[in-house]
Structure 1
Amino acid sequence: MLCARRLRGLGPAAAAGWRGRPGPGGLGAGRRARAVSTSWSPVGAAFNVKPQGRRLDLLGERRGLFGVPELSAPEGFRIAQENALRKADLLVERVCSMPPGPQTVLIFDELSDSLCRVADLADFVKIAHPEPAFREAAEEACRSIGTMVEKLNTNVELYQSLQKLLADKKLVESLDPETRRVAELFMFDFEISGIHLDKEKVEKYLLPEHIHRNFVVTGNHVIIDGLHADAPDDLVREAAYKIFLYPNAGQLKCLEELLSHRDLLAKLVGYSTYSHRALQGTIAKNPETVMQFLEKLSDRLSERTIKDFEMIRRMKMKLNPQNSELMPWDPPYYSGVIRAERYNIEPSLYCPFFSLGACMEGLNILFTKLLGITLYAEQPAKGEVWCEDVRKLAVVHESEGLLGYIYCDFFQRADKPHQDCHFTIRGGRLKEDGDYQLPVVVLMLNLPHSSRNSPTLLTPGMMENLFHEMGHAMHSMLGRTRYQHVTGTRCPTDFAEVPSILMEYFANDYRVVTQFARHYQTGQSLPKSMVSRLCESKKVCAAADMQLQVFYATLDQIYHGKHPLRTSTTDILRETQEKFYGLPYVPNTAWQLRFSHLVGYGAKYYSYLMSRAVASMVWKECFQQDPFNRAAGERYRREMLAHGGGKEPMLMVQGMLQKCPSMDDFVSALVSDLDPDFETFLMDSE
């Protein structure tokens, strides 16, 4: 209920930014710009040089992680959590003893903020800090705060304090739209029960001797830890697929119980299915709309997917004439072969043009032109960061001043998770004294370190991921919601990925790329033909890839639909795969047991497709003609980035597009992205 740390969105409490102290009539008209620091330095240079001097600061005052004084040592987590728990108890007592009113929502949000400020930070530190003592202390803090959240989720008196507010029609009508929506979200969150499964253990199986070398061997066993989709040997991919996805009775029972208990929970709180409960407040609103979207998309993709499969089949026949039947383990590998053959996309040819510093400067240029925002590197205080190569960025608006901070944990290190992601450390909110609590986030990537001869060089995929994650960060920075419960990326799941996916469109536009992509040695600009071929290569077999996502999303909806299920989860998998994908189900496999998104994104897997559809429409209608259009950028901030979860997502989309899009519009946007670019075709023909 209270500590919602999942990826969500943010919001503008006023036009293009937070303006002054809110008075009786709403937000004041006067801007209170944050002071500019003289210690800021250009962002590009900061990422192409190694940090210096931090180790020599032996006498300086040591501050805690993220500037939190208690966190100068692992023991500080215990102090921070105890302080948060004491404050939570006081806030609970206060809200339960007062009459219902707007102040009820403010106290709920302050309660959420006091817990989230420890839990969000600890969530990041427990997986990313290089020192085991910090990770263990953060893990304990997560458990402690989690226990408190569970108690609050079942605190009847706390629940009733909010229920009294929402039951009073006159009081509800007196609330402003954002406060009303946040109150409803808190009430809805009371009904949510997070169910988490332990990570599945790696299964060990014996394999034929001649393919042992492709897998990790431990003693007399071979460990199959994935699908090995890029392995050139068909037999290796087949063996990995059949063994990694082999059914496990215990796991099947666990999945069935998860789905059954979710259905029971949904019915207990008045929903006909778990999917109906999960989709409340989203763009789609209900599972019927999701299925309409997926079925329409599947119909539009059908002919293109058949052509993709035929192209893949021909390539397999060319390389392996003895066994040309197309199987589920084939498309990832053979589509890559086709892509390389057709477009000669070798990442090493692109890397010299994408130094990390150049890419960061490219982001800086884009944000300055679109939004009037500059990224400045700021020297962290001693003890503020968890590794010496973490950079701290100040996000500064040309007239509003400092908007927030982004900590960039970009480089590989031992025991660091291999994932690119965005963490909210502190959500933005309006404080009682009228000041705004600035948002703080971490972007975590896994980039190679610079070498003696070159700065950190990014592949095209790494560059696109950087833009994607920075889209999440700017979503967090540019919102100015009154309540932290709906700040940052704390918005409906099918809207949360829109800003990040939109950034991918900018990353693939030559007019943007040419602003920064220069060879780190010669200064030569990346040729337009190379950018065009790179973009077109992504369309190879893209219909089949999207069809696979439709299959996954449909399966997710069926599993979380009407219960009891009419047959086993494996039989449903087989039927859905044959109808919505086209390649045959492989007997004695249970892919659904490896579908980890069923746990964290139950009934919401469609969200990535929906977010991409919205981002595609925003790109085509607002930025494709001019990716640096300042008026469009300001409208984007005002209509989409500023509201987070504080406004209905479809209203944000309508405000940006200046029309109400239909499911057909969303489907058309996705399908049109697959069309080849005629200009690239002409260049390749010359």
Structure 2
Amino acid sequence: MLKRWERQAWTCPQCAHRQRKIVKRCLVTSSNAKGAAAAAAAVAEEWQPVSKASSSASHDDRTLRHIFDSPGFWKDFSAKTKYHYGGRQTGLFRNGYLTRPEGFQQFASVTLAKCERIVTAVLSYQTVEELRRVARDLDRLSDLLCRVIDLSDFVRSVHPDRRVQAAASQAYATMFEYMNVLNTTTGLNDQLKKASAVPEIYDSWSEEERTVAAILIKDFSKSAIDLAETDRQAFVDISNEIAQVGNDFVENMAAEKSTLSLESSRLKGMDPLFVRQLTRWGSVQLPTVGMPATLALRYVEDADTRREIYMASRTSSHSNLQRLEQMLKRRAELAKLSGYDSFAQLTLADKMAKTPEAVTSFLDALAKENAPRAREEVQDLLELKRSEARVGNFPAELNAWDRDYYTAQLMSGMRSKTRAPDFLSAYFSLGTVMQGLSRLFHRLYGIRLVPKETLPGETWNPDVRRLDVIDDHEGHIAVIYCDLFERAGKSPNPAHFTLRCSRRISEEEMQEAAELSSQSDSPFATAQEAANDGLATNFNPRDGNALYQLPTIALICDFSLPPQPNSGRPTLLTFRELTTLFHEMGHALHSICGRTALQNVAGTRCATDFAELPSVLMENFASAPEVLALYARHWETDAPLDPTRIKERVELDRRMQGAEIESQVLLGMLDQEYHSARPLTWPEGGIGESTKLYHEVWNNYSQVPEPPGTCWQGFFGHLFGYGATYYSYLFDRAIAGKIWRDVFQRSANGAVDPNAGKRFREEVLRHGGGRDGWRCVAGVLGEEGSPLADGERKAMEEVGRWGVHS
């Protein structure tokens, strides 16, 4: 496939919780809050951790805090460029075409013409010298498609103007249709294979070129290009059916019984006011899916009532189970048509895991490592249950409908010994957190986040802040657009988007750009602008000072604005929101530092089971004392945060980690079983086979048996988006934990050790997807010559034995 899709944002159970809109409680502020805030800001101007940064860097550091924490400062900062441009629009992201909605079609048309010239040239190549260019030319072809598709897809989902949304959607459709044509153009596939098969050519390619060639050959294969015409049509038909049924499956997840009618007395233990809101005509109408059922399972005292709610909430609608089984059966057929034993085998061939057997080995090893912790947690819950000693409560057993109830009791007892969660928020104003991230990045990687004034029309909303990423040695290396505040109509889901990847711009492209910029109606003043559509470029001293297009990233969050804009109180983050921001910045860091010469392997364009490693690792920094010391100070008094308070919170979050890991192992195993060859044996139009498999997996791996009669798999939406790769998040958590312990916690400087940062940047981040993930992991752990570097099944087992320990 010439279009290298950005990996979908992973959603683990923790992330799913984070993605729900969080209603924050306001901290009680004194009557002189405005004066206290001003005094605190003055103190903060003077307070700086030890740093070797220049005075200009210190200025940038202060500005970074103020543009997020002070509305007045941001208003003045963002108004600077308006007067210099006299109302002229520069275009979204400074793309010269996108000054008006109609520009999207011009952008697509100009890009399409460039693509067609490349295709014509590649198809005509005959000599060794010409064929040597194939990998780079096809990578550029892919980049041109991504320039329009990625940017248009983002704009149509975030821009408030419906005309812009429609124009972006049309540009997206135009390029997407052309991409599908290219994916079935056999000549491109033939030329790429021909070039790869010539030793003289293959040996002359860089590691990145070889990797890109392998990726594109694999993607062509996934488009059934090697099949006979009749089989190819069958492939297309099955693929279309999977897409339709899969989307329907995700959009129609529902319980077989949508509500339960209960007497209010049966819900004793729940908040009476909440119960009253659900009461209709004298009885409670409890929705079986969503927050009401979740709260009921945590707080309802009567076990029989909890059992009834549990069974209803874990029983999917019959129609959605049919959709699931149809999707799984068609996926198995698609794999067989493509020459694979199973859909998992087809999917995993280009991942770190390589085979379904390796994934199973990883999950088995992890389950074994986690079992003692999970058993201990179950025993703790049983002790709580026995202490109630109720008649008929079966105190020797922990039922599935008991787990949430006694977990909530256990956690409640722990929380009563700590301060309220809101206590921490006072130390995490958004500006100081962004300041802390920049300081951390500077100590570890020698890069800083520098606020940059946006030009008129550059962003899709006035609240969007632009940050330029500046490297101490390489200068400007990336651009981040931060859209972090809530607003009506905005998605509450945190996300990282790569709008433009790193890539080397060739001399030929510069000549093409010079011709374009010289035209009278050109939106670009120089060839350098035209070469990247007006987006950021810079010269790369690590690559002979070649011109590179810079990674351009958008970070989306949904943090609440202060309740009183003029109070002087900034946006304060909960610890969960803080961790979310660190996670998303981990993705951004991968895009920033993965400055490869070819875009197919830039930044986060890597194997699915490697993509979450930098972001999961970043979550550890959020609670490290030496990192908190860089920025965590009270927004009013400027007093530093006592790190023991964070330690208490982290311990609380990890109290039932064994159960959470067990749950993820179960889902990972279920995902593998569903995408094995077994669906090929299921009867057409039948129902119930997926339920049998669901209970088989649960009974093999769960400490708490699943009661007969449930069929929860109809709610497992990730089966569509992450078919056969659901293990990836656990896999990356295990690797991240190992790197955190062995690399970032082994020196006196701990998490801010520049040597550890340099090692991680050079061995992992710098390569993006251009180096085998196993070599990256072995390199950063100092095990280059070990079996770990070779990957395969034994390496997967070893990662499982590391366990998930933050």
TM norm. shorter chain > 0.5:
yes
1:671–1:484: structure 2 CA closer, same or farther, 3 Å change rule? closer
The correspondence for 2:768, drawn from 628, 644, 652, is 644
Q: Which structure's relative contact order is higher, taking Cα pairs within 8 Å and 6+ residues apart?
A: 1
The correspondence for 2:75, drawn from 52, 58, 64, is 52
Alignment of 1:25-36 (within 5 A): none
Q: Unaligned regions of 5+ residues in structure 1, if any?
A: 10-34, 674-686
**Alignment deviations for residues 183-216 of structure 1 (CA, whole Å, 9 cap, x no partner):** 0001111133575332423648343165786669
CA shift at 1:298, angstroms? Answer: 1.0
Is 1:84 the equivalent of 2:153? Answer: no
Q: Per the alignment, in what secondary structure is the counterpart of residue 211 of structure 2?
A: helix
The correspondence for 1:612, drawn from 729, 733, 751, is 733
1:316–1:270: structure 2 CA closer, same or farther, 3 Å change rule? same
Where does residue 150 of structure 1 map in the other structure?
A: 180
Q: Distance in 2 between matches of 1:119 and 1:563?
A: 36
The correspondence for 2:429, drawn from 355, 362, 366, is 355
Alignment of 1:288-327 (within 5 A): 288-315=357-384, 321=390, 326-327=398-399
Q: Distance in 2 between matches of 1:385 and 1:128?
A: 11
TM-score by length of 1: 0.87
Where does residue 138 of structure 2 map in the other structure?
A: 108
Which is greater in Rg?
2
Query: What amino acid maps onto 2:67 in structure 1?
Result: A
Q: Distance in 1 between matches of 2:594 and 2:638?
A: 37
Alignment of 1:159-238 (within 5 A): 159-192=189-222, 195-196=242-243, 197-198=246-247, 199-201=250-252, 203=254, 205-208=258-261, 210=263, 226=290, 228-231=293-296, 232-234=298-300
1:413–1:667: structure 2 CA closer, same or farther, 3 Å change rule? same
Alignment of 1:615-626 (within 5 A): 615-625=736-746, 626=750
Q: Per the alignment, in what secondary structure is the counterpart of residue 288 of structure 1?
A: helix
**What is the root-mean-square deviation of aligned Cα atoms in Å?**
2.9
1:148–1:623: structure 2 CA closer, same or farther, 3 Å change rule? same
Is 1:516 the equivalent of 2:657? Answer: no
CA shift at 1:540, angstroms? Answer: 0.6
Q: Per the alignment, in what secondary structure is the counterpart of residue 414 of structure 1?
A: coil
Is 1:561 the equivalent of 2:673? Answer: no
Where does residue 364 of structure 1 map in the other structure?
A: 438
Where does residue 627 of structure 1 map in the other structure?
A: 751
Where does residue 32 of structure 1 map in the other structure?
A: none
Contact 1:8 1:492 in 2 (8 A): no
CA shift at 1:286, angstroms? Answer: 1.5
Contact 2:260 2:288 in 1 (8 A): no
Alignment of 1:466-615 (within 5 A): 466-564=581-679, 568-615=689-736
Query: What amino acid maps onto 1:52 in structure 2?
Result: K
Q: Distance in 2 between matches of 1:653 and 1:130?
A: 42
Q: Distance in 2 between matches of 1:320 and 1:415?
A: 50
Q: Distance in 2 between matches of 1:466 and 1:431?
A: 32
Q: Distance in 2 between matches of 1:110 and 1:426?
A: 12
Q: Distance in 2 between matches of 1:210 and 1:200?
A: 31
Q: Per the alignment, in what secondary structure is the counterpart of residue 522 of structure 1?
A: coil
**Alignment deviations for residues 572-600 of structure 1 (CA, whole Å, 9 cap, x no partner):** 00110121123333444332222121111
**Alignment deviations for residues 477-505 of structure 1 (CA, whole Å, 9 cap, x no partner):** 11121110111201011111110111111
**Alignment deviations for residues 62-112 of structure 1 (CA, whole Å, 9 cap, x no partner):** 122111122233333222223333332222222112236231111111111
Q: Per the alignment, in what secondary structure is the counterpart of residue 409 of structure 1?
A: strand
Q: Per the alignment, in what secondary structure is the counterpart of residue 396 of structure 1?
A: strand
Q: Per the alignment, in what secondary structure is the counterpart of residue 555 of structure 1?
A: helix
Is 1:266 the equivalent of 2:335? Answer: yes
The correspondence for 1:656, drawn from 766, 769, 780, is 780
CA shift at 1:61, angstroms? Answer: 1.5
CA shift at 1:8, angstroms? Answer: 8.8
Where does residue 14 of structure 1 map in the other structure?
A: none
Is 1:382 the equivalent of 2:456? Answer: yes
Task: Report the more deviating stretch, 529-538 or 239-248.
Answer: 239-248
Q: Distance in 2 between matches of 1:501 and 1:123?
A: 26
Q: Per the alignment, in what secondary structure is the counterpart of residue 467 of structure 2?
A: strand
Q: Per the alignment, in what secondary structure is the counterpart of residue 461 of structure 1?
A: helix
CA shift at 1:39, angstroms? Answer: 9.3
Task: Report the more deviating stretch, 337-346 or 236-245.
Answer: 236-245
Q: Unaligned regions of 5+ residues in structure 2, if any?
A: 10-55, 224-238, 265-274, 508-545, 683-688, 789-794
**Alignment deviations for residues 528-577 of structure 1 (CA, whole Å, 9 cap, x no partner):** 22021112112211111100000000111111112345661111001101
1:319–1:429: structure 2 CA closer, same or farther, 3 Å change rule? farther
Contact 1:8 1:493 in 2 (8 A): no
CA shift at 1:652, angstroms? Answer: 0.8
Q: Distance in 1 between matches of 2:370 and 2:308?
A: 30
Contact 2:733 2:804 in 1 (8 A): no
Contact 2:486 2:558 in 1 (8 A): yes
Q: Per the alignment, in what secondary structure is the counterpart of residue 208 of structure 1?
A: strand
Q: Distance in 1 between matches of 2:486 and 2:719?
A: 29
Q: Per the alignment, in what secondary structure is the counterpart of residue 484 of structure 2?
A: strand
Where does residue 7 of structure 1 map in the other structure?
A: 7
1:336–1:360: structure 2 CA closer, same or farther, 3 Å change rule? farther
Q: Distance in 2 between matches of 1:582 and 1:554?
A: 15
Contact 2:470 2:477 in 1 (8 A): yes
Q: Distance in 1 between matches of 2:322 and 2:196?
A: 40
The correspondence for 2:102, drawn from 68, 72, 75, is 75
Q: Distance in 2 between matches of 1:410 and 1:538?
A: 25
Q: Distance in 2 between matches of 1:103 and 1:489?
A: 24
Is 1:97 the equivalent of 2:124? Answer: yes
CA shift at 1:381, angstroms? Answer: 0.8
Where does residue 230 of structure 2 map in the other structure?
A: none
Task: Report the more deviating stretch, 528-537 or 85-94.
Answer: 85-94
The correspondence for 1:427, drawn from 493, 501, 517, is 501
1:655–1:381: structure 2 CA closer, same or farther, 3 Å change rule? same
Query: What amino acid maps onto 1:585 in structure 2?
Result: E
Contact 2:436 2:631 in 1 (8 A): yes
Q: Per the alignment, in what secondary structure is the counterpart of residue 504 of structure 1?
A: helix
CA shift at 1:396, angstroms? Answer: 0.2
TM-score by length of 2: 0.75
Contact 1:229 1:330 in 2 (8 A): no
Task: Report the more deviating stretch, 456-465 or 410-419.
Answer: 410-419
1:80–1:469: structure 2 CA closer, same or farther, 3 Å change rule? same
Q: Per the alignment, in what secondary structure is the counterpart of residue 353 of structure 1?
A: coil
Q: Distance in 2 between matches of 1:152 and 1:253?
A: 34
The correspondence for 1:436, drawn from 538, 541, 548, is 548
Query: What amino acid maps onto 1:346 in structure 2?
Result: A
1:403–1:329: structure 2 CA closer, same or farther, 3 Å change rule? farther
CA shift at 1:245, angstroms? Answer: 4.4
Task: Report the more deviating stretch, 573-582 or 649-658.
Answer: 573-582
CA shift at 1:336, angstroms? Answer: 4.5
CA shift at 1:226, angstroms? Answer: 2.8
Contact 1:550 1:606 in 2 (8 A): yes
Q: Distance in 1 between matches of 2:393 and 2:493?
A: 36
